[in-house]
Structure 1
Amino acid sequence: MSLAATSGADDGLYIGLMSGTSLDGVDGVLLRGPSPQWMTLGHAHRPFPHELRQELLALNTPGDNELHRSAVAAQGLAEVYAEVVHALLAAAQVSPSDVRAIGAHGQTVRHRPDLGYTWQINAPATLAEHTGIAVVADFRSRDVAAGGQGAPLVPAFHQAIFGREDRSVVVLNVGGMANLSILRPGLPPLGFDCGPGNCLLDMWCEWQTGHAFDANGEWGAAGHVREDWLADALSEPYFKLPPPKSTGRDLFNADWLNQWLGPHGLTDGPVSDGQMARDVQATLCELTARSAALAIHDHAPDAVEVVVCGGGALNGDLLRRLGEQLPGVRVGRSDAHGLDVMQVEAAAFAWLAWCHLSAQAGNVAGVTGARGARVLGALYPA
């Protein structure tokens, strides 16, 4: 991966860490930049221990003793973050003193910009202690304080990597949620969360099969889309809201899924009819594809290419459905542009850490709805 240099802080090494709403673990990327161009030097991944994953998932909804539980979970998250950092340093044979900063997004458990807050579980001081590297964290809060959604924060980074001077491009990141970046020649990027990504798919798959996700979408591909069920799902008011907008597990969660399943006689328990179970999965996959495609039709009708990244890019059935919904548009993965699908968001937070140290704005006000450009994050020195 390479992208054009931008004026700012001195050249150096930066690490980005990302653990998204899919809760599949932590991805870390080591970057060198900014001049003459940003280069990816390494990638590492660590899955969450089962107990930590379950606790992070549980903390997305109200429960007992949340303050204590979230503090303990934050320490566990910092330990996994540190493991990823040490793996990156070892593989690249780099000393902690050579790295200028780590950008650590934290784990979103509540996102309520309508109430003026967003909450990412994190322990950046612990991470700085464990690694001996300065940490930049809490990227969303300043944008929310300025009246923004605090998300998505990646469109400016997407513009730098995937933007083209001769055509309009959409970057579709499919993590637990799905978000779009609309990149047009000569114009600032646009972007918003378009709806669920993998979260509902993974939830239903785990309920029915015991597996955390549907590998390559093969289980769901054997199902049939129930168009009446899909129409019910697409009636969700969020899909019709104008941007700027953002969403998360506060909306698309087990309660949402059960409310959708209930009228069709289904619950969150195992379904005895295997074909019916696969039909639900196929319909949920179509929901992710069609909600994204509808957003692209409405807000980026001139797009000639859609670059897909995030864990959802590994779902072949989802990519096929996106292609069917976007005839005449080239749909492909970010790998073709030199950046692995699981590295894009982590790389973005390394870049945002550089922006913080450079005193450069990390948000795009036209994307988030903030009152203006803001330097994002808080610094925890080594």
Structure 2
Amino acid sequence: MTPCLRFVSAAILKVDGRGLNACFDVIHQLNVRTPADVRAMLEQGGAGLTNGTQLPGMVSRLVSELQVVNVERLLNSCGVSAEKVTAVGQRGPVCGREFWKQTGSATSIGDPAILAEATGLTVMDHFEQRDIAKGGSARGLDVLPMWLLLTKAVDSISARPKIVVRLDHSIELFYLPARRKNRPIPPIAYRQLGPGFALLQQLQTLCDTQPITQPVSAASVADLLGQLKLEEVAADSPHQVQTVCDAIVQQMPELLASSVVLNHSLETFWADSIHQAIDQHFPRSPEFAEMIVLGRGARREKLVQQIADKFPGVTVTTDVQRGWISGAVGASIAAILATLHVDQVSGNLPDLTGATAARVLGRITPGNPGNWRGVLGQMELAARQTMPLREAI
């Protein structure tokens, strides 16, 4: 389970098989809207975390209590007893990248002890920290679970890759090759294009104060954002996003003429950037079979159509068309990271994160004795199985 700033989302996954041969199916999903006061605290950087004035203890408790409510509602609504759940993967919103400059990573908001105590389930969280401990940046950590979620292990060599476009707080691209049974992980590509809706929301607050109504050309917007090196801006860094906003106000105030102008200009820029990045950085052969658009951008039909127009002949689908609610993919990724920990499979790809070695990710907070014994039993069973040398930890 994982919350974005708007929702606290949870999903129950059915897992068939183990490790890289496992098949994951989302069988139940649910989200709870984040209360306005909690969301305001998160948007302000976790009650002072960004400037180091105080630790986000209150925010962690509030988010964790929402997660408890979500887990209980989800189990009750689908009739699944807690005894049948192996573990909970917990990921919260991130805040405070400036405060944590020594690692280059933000801290995750949420208290696993509250979730474990209330539900009796073993909780696994802090997936990023083990990668950071080995010198990684933890960026691109969702690549492997995304690949496992959206591809099926097959024997055929004719299966084609997929492209995933996640248009949300930030814009991320995933190249997911076909998954073959009992084979090592093939090359998976990942590209981050900088802040998406994190930048749009910040700029929308400035639109009403700008009376200029001059038209804006797509080329000029692309040139300016290219000069600002938007790809290097972290969406969870309020300072970096604010710096970009200040530069736009000074150099291109006409972009803020109205909310309509701003949305149209950024959507055009996003579609062009996505096409250019895929063309330049992802393998061209074999041709990819499908493009999947996730996140808030998937709910903008014009934006999805703009992206589809850039790739004629390619099937473009969204999480809405697949029946996934807001946040279900993020919650599923957290669950898969927890499953990889139980199966003792490394969850990071050093070539993407920059870590010096692959590691089993996550920190464990035991649930009640019965659930904890079940988790230990599965981890012991996984440890007895033979793994390829490149995956052994």
**How many angstroms apart in 2 are the aligned matches of 1:293 and 1:142?**
33
Supply the AA of the counterpart residue of 1:47.
R
Corresponding residue number in structure 2 for 1:200: 199
Query: Helix, strand or coil: the match of 1:26?
Result: strand
**How many angstroms apart in 2 are the aligned matches of 1:18 and 1:123?**
12
How high is the TM-score relative to the length of structure 1? 0.79
Matching of residues 66-145 of structure 1 within 5 Å: 66-68=53-55, 70-111=56-97, 115-118=102-105, 119-145=107-133
Is residue 225–residue 286 contact of structure 1 (8 Å, CA) maintained in 2?
no
- Correspondent of 1:230 among 222, 233, 248: 222
Is residue 313–residue 341 contact of structure 1 (8 Å, CA) maintained in 2?
no
Question: Cα RMSD between the aligned structures?
Answer: 2.9
C-alpha distance 161-78 of structure 1, shift in aligned 2 (>3 A): closer
**How many angstroms apart in 1 are the aligned matches of 2:177 and 2:315?**
16
- Correspondent of 2:332 among 347, 366, 375: 347
Matching of residues 240-279 of structure 1 within 5 Å: 247-250=234-237, 253-265=241-253, 276-279=258-261
How high is the TM-score relative to the length of structure 2? 0.77
Stretch of structure 1 that moved more, 226-235 or 331-340: 331-340
**How many angstroms apart in 1 are the aligned matches of 2:230 and 2:145?**
26
Shift of 1:335: 5.2
Shift of 1:62: 6.3
Q: Give per-residue Cα distances to partners, 1:261-298, cap 9 Å, x unaligned.
A: 2223379xxx7x5xx33212211222333322222111
Shift of 1:38: 2.9
**How many angstroms apart in 2 are the aligned matches of 1:325 and 1:279?**
21
**How many angstroms apart in 2 are the aligned matches of 1:39 and 1:99?**
14
Shift of 1:121: 1.6
**How many angstroms apart in 2 are the aligned matches of 1:110 and 1:121?**
10
Corresponding residue number in structure 2 for 1:217: none
Shift of 1:326: 3.5
Whether 1:324 and 2:309 are equivalent positions in the alignment is yes
Corresponding residue number in structure 1 for 2:155: none
- Correspondent of 1:367 among 349, 352, 368: 352
Corresponding residue number in structure 2 for 1:218: none
Corresponding residue number in structure 1 for 2:171: 178
Query: Helix, strand or coil: the match of 1:115?
Result: coil
Shift of 1:117: 4.5
Q: Give per-residue Cα distances to partners, 1:67-121, cap 9 Å, x unaligned.
A: 24x1111111101111111111111122323322111112111347873252112
Unaligned runs of 5+ in 1: 1-16, 210-222
Shift of 1:346: 1.0
Supply the AA of the counterpart residue of 2:194.
G
Corresponding residue number in structure 2 for 1:49: 35
Corresponding residue number in structure 1 for 2:381: none
**How many angstroms apart in 1 are the aligned matches of 2:178 and 2:240?**
33
Aligned length: 339
Is residue 149–residue 369 contact of structure 1 (8 Å, CA) maintained in 2?
yes
Is residue 24–residue 148 contact of structure 2 (8 Å, CA) maintained in 1?
no
Corresponding residue number in structure 2 for 1:216: none
**How many angstroms apart in 1 are the aligned matches of 2:151 and 2:230?**
28
Corresponding residue number in structure 2 for 1:19: 3
Supply the AA of the counterpart residue of 1:202.
Q
Query: Helix, strand or coil: the match of 1:352?
Result: helix
**How many angstroms apart in 1 are the aligned matches of 2:263 and 2:358?**
40
Query: Helix, strand or coil: the match of 1:172?
Result: strand
Identical pairs, percent: 23
Supply the AA of the counterpart residue of 2:341.
H
Unaligned runs of 5+ in 2: 153-157, 180-185, 209-214, 368-393
- Correspondent of 1:168 among 157, 161, 166: 161
**How many angstroms apart in 2 are the aligned matches of 1:177 and 1:134?**
30
Q: Give per-residue Cα distances to partners, 1:126-183, cap 9 Å, x unaligned.
A: 1212222111011111111212220222222222233485323211122201212112
Corresponding residue number in structure 2 for 1:300: 282
Shift of 1:238: 4.6
Q: Give per-residue Cα distances to partners, 1:286-330, cap 9 Å, x unaligned.
A: 233332222211112525332111222112122122123334543
Is residue 309–residue 342 contact of structure 1 (8 Å, CA) maintained in 2?
no
**How many angstroms apart in 1 are the aligned matches of 2:326 and 2:42?**
23
**How many angstroms apart in 1 are the aligned matches of 2:207 and 2:225?**
20
C-alpha distance 207-132 of structure 1, shift in aligned 2 (>3 A): farther
Is residue 173–residue 190 contact of structure 2 (8 Å, CA) maintained in 1?
yes
Q: Give the structure with higher Rg (CA).
A: 2
C-alpha distance 163-46 of structure 1, shift in aligned 2 (>3 A): same
Whether 1:32 and 2:20 are equivalent positions in the alignment is no
**How many angstroms apart in 1 are the aligned matches of 2:51 and 2:282?**
44
